[in-house]
Amino acid sequence: MNIKQKLQKNDCLEQMKLLYSTDNEGAKKYTNRYLHLIETYCSVFDDNDQEIRLFSAPGRTEVGGNHTDHQKGHVLAAGVNLDIIAAVKENHTNTIKIKSDGYNMITIDLNQTEPIASEEGTTLSLVRGIAAYFINMGYTVKGFNAVMTSSVLKGSGLSSSAAFEVLIGTIINGLFCNNKESAVKIAQIGQYAENVYFGKPCGLMDQTASSVGSFVAIDFKDTEHPVVEQIPFDFTSVGHALCIVDTGGNHADLTPDYAAVTAEMKSVAAFFGKSVLSEVSENDIYKNIAVLRKKCGDRAVLRAIHFFADSKKAVQEAEALKNNDFETFKKLILSSGISSSTCLQNVYSTSNPQEQGLSLALALCQKILGDKGAYRVHGGGFAGTIQAFVPTELLQTFHDEMESAFGEGNCHILSIRPVGGIEIA
């Protein structure tokens, strides 16, 4: 039975329904997406469809713990039902060839496993770094051909880069490692490639949420060995949709705004002789507020207060989901959002106070949802996206009003995907 026949079987349709939170008709559309990808593979590589294998890795959404990861706190994240998919076949050479929709073919020679300076910041570096890690673990990694297409929205805070890293790791794990490596290990390999080969310091939240799937609670106290817990929660049962609203945002350089959050939190930690806030006692912050105000400034103190509150809320949100208490979960999301606005202060840039798309979107959420939903800034903040959990009966109104304010195509209706990186069929 070839891959096209497998895709038409009932168990594969059930898999599509699970991955994409859809019904029978929707599952058929997603099946056709994979069938089209197989045709693209055959065309690009002038090959037949024998021995083709299919893989998928989801984007992710940050749910709880806003700017807590870099202080080694707690985070709650989740995989979403947008993904990058790949049709793959071993090519029995030492070369990986990848053709992504809308991009030129990239070629990676596996004889060279060290970082290449000229590749820094490119997709090539990520693939080389991931393959090199598996090779250094003792696996025999050979070449393969792949075509890919993505529904993960770029610039939406859903982390298309982490999904790509997890997809490459899942492919290599499936083709050459007999799936021996865990989802968390694949996430760590992606982080390694991004840090060492791509040249971008990053945490582990994005890769972990994509690789593990569902809701994922992470404790970053030991960053070498983070405590990761998948929380199986049936999001389809609670009558809500996850909406990500892209407010357009400030196109100026927001790096100073992001850097100030980390620097100010670290300045408070440094007052106590520590490197990050998770090493400091919350009580000590309150006992020393007067002197901290003078030494670090009021905003730094507020941001430290936010860290402790939001790190605790991330744990409480995870507990609420474990207890199937979605109402408490929503209250915690709202409380977290208020803390981001008032203490963390990352809903607009002080360098451009005329532009406050995030604040406006949150105000519209309050008007439309009242006490029926939950909403917060999404990701790093200062510009970009907000996140809302919207009751089904208000979804159309919410969607229409948000797109009226921020433009057509900027309110994305999603669901939580119960599994992470996976081989299809």
Tell me the domain boundaries of the chain: 3-231+418-424, 240-414
120-146, pLDDT tens digit by residue? Answer: 999 999 999 999 999 999 999 999 999
Q: Are 240 and 391 in contact (CB under 8 A)?
A: yes
DSSP H stretches of helix in 177-233 = 183-192, 205-212
Order of strands, sheet of 411-414, starting from the edge strand that comes earlier in the sequence: 374-378, 385-391, 240-246, 411-414
Q: Which residues contact 328 (CB under 8 A, 6 or more apart)?
A: 316, 320
N- to C-terminal Cα distance for the chain? 11
Lowest mean pLDDT among 196-200, 306-310, 390-394, 402-406: 196-200
In this structure, are residues 194 and 200 in contact, taking their beta carbons and an 8 Å threshold?
Answer: yes
What's phi and psi for 139, nearest 5 deg? -80, 150
Name the token pair of 413.
């209706």
Q: Cα–Cα distance between 366 and 351 in angstroms, integer?
A: 26
Query: Angle formed by the axes of helices 183-192 and 205-212, to 10°?
Result: 150
Mean pLDDT of 391-412: 97
Cα angle 158, 324, 377 (rounded to 5 degrees) comes to: 30
Contacts of 232 (CB under 8 A, 6+ apart): 214, 418
pLDDT digits (tens, 9 = 90+) for 317-336: 999 999 999 999 999 999 99
Beta strands in 91-191 (DSSP E): 95-100, 106-109, 144-150
Measured distance CA(292)–CA(285) in Å, rounded: 8
Q: If one looks up domain 3-231+418-424 in CATH, what number appears?
A: 3.30.230.10
> For 174, phi and psi rounded to 5 degrees?
-75, -40
Amino acid 201: pLDDT: 75
Q: What share of the chain is helix, strand, coil (3-state, %, to 5)?
A: 50, 20, 30
Q: Encode pLDDT of 51-90 as tens digits.
A: 999 999 999 999 999 999 999 999 999 999 999 999 999 9
Q: Which of 62, 418, 80, 18 is nearest to 232 (CA)?
A: 418
Q: Return mean pLDDT, the chain.
A: 95
240-414 to CATH, choices 3.90.1150.10, 3.30.960.10, 3.30.70.890, 3.60.15.10 = 3.30.70.890
In this predicted structure, which of 132-146, 239-253, 262-276, 390-404 has the lowest mean pLDDT? 239-253
- State the Cα–Cα distance between residues 186 and 166, nearest whole angstrom: 6
Residue 307 backbone phi and psi in degrees, to 5: -55, -50
What pTM was estimated for this model as a whole? 0.89
Residues 20/26, Cβ–Cβ less than 8 Å: yes
Share of the chain above pLDDT 90, in %: 87
CA dihedral sign, ordered 208, 210, 212, 216: positive
Helices (H), ranges, 272-379: 282-287, 289-296, 298-322, 326-339, 357-369
Question: Strand (E) positions, 101-166?
Answer: 106-109, 144-150
Distance CA 365, CA 380 (A): 19
